[in-house]
Amino acid sequence: MDAPQEPLFGSVDDVAERLAGVGYLASTGVATTVYLADRLGKPLLVEGPAGVGKTELAKAVAACTGAGLVRLQCYEGIDEARALYEWNHAKQLLRITAGQGHESWDETRDDVFSEEFLLPRPLLTAIRRSEPTVLLVDEMDKADVEVEGLLLEVLSDYQVSVPEMGTITASRRPFALLTSNSTRELSEALKRRCLFLHLDFPDADLERRIVLSRVPELPEALVDALVRTVRVLRGLELRKAPSVAETIDWGRTLLALGMDTLDDDTVRATLGVVLKHQSDAVKAVAELRLN
């Protein structure tokens, strides 16, 4: 990457307007951090509870800029082969077998460790793309510490070392966004390479505007009641607090059922849309006095 690349966004206001254009209503703080990550060429680490829009932010950046989205979904036990690349061993074996008696081992080895036999995974795929790309490393905190080491080279120099082929360097730097639900502390080395953004549940006004933007057919009075009830539920000590996406789903549910009020019977009948554990539902029924 010898020459500076064209940024995705022109200003903080441009970020906010374009994200809103694809249905993501961003606060000034969110828009500013996204703009700086793009302008400075630094990865963005987004932490916060599940369901506040961390993954959706990456999808929205890709959608509003026309960039390709490359997603690495982390999980316990994910390794280099799933994150970076691996060799197509079955195809290599066939090639070695076919070459026996016809060529030297040096010729065969040079062939089997070539582009034809390489299986790129998300990190290498994002590095090699020449088009605008958003690299989403989702739920980074679920991966082992060793996987963070893989990311350091990628996020520091936007390059990947393949011992058999050499170093592959990005011709166009991807917009990298990492998410974490804070189930474990990420390493300081990884954090140093990133800008940081903490996302929490939106305030009542922003959540109301989000629901209205996604379910515009809902009466405003019903949206107000919906948001108030969800905020009460989040104030309880639940196993899983309702996400913004579940608030939207609840609104769509009420619309589909033709309901125009959120009375006790309606809440009781549709509570399963926002609460996914029986213990949470029992606690909510008691606290909301729905019996």
pLDDT tens track, the chain, 291 positions = 545 688 999 999 999 999 999 999 999 999 999 999 999 999 999 999 888 999 999 999 999 999 999 999 999 989 888 899 998 888 888 878 877 767 676 667 667 787 888 889 999 999 999 999 999 999 999 998 888 888 887 888 888 888 888 888 898 999 999 999 988 889 899 999 999 999 999 999 999 999 999 999 999 999 999 999 999 999 998 999 999 999 999 999 999 999 888 888 899 999 999 999 999 999 998 888 765
pTM for this predicted structure:
0.86
Q: List, in sequence order, every residue forming a beta bridge with 70; answer none if it has no partner.
A: 135
Comparing CA positions, the residue from 215, 227, 225 lying closest to residue 255 is 215
Give residue 105's pLDDT.
63
Rounded Cα distance, 99 and 73, in Å: 38
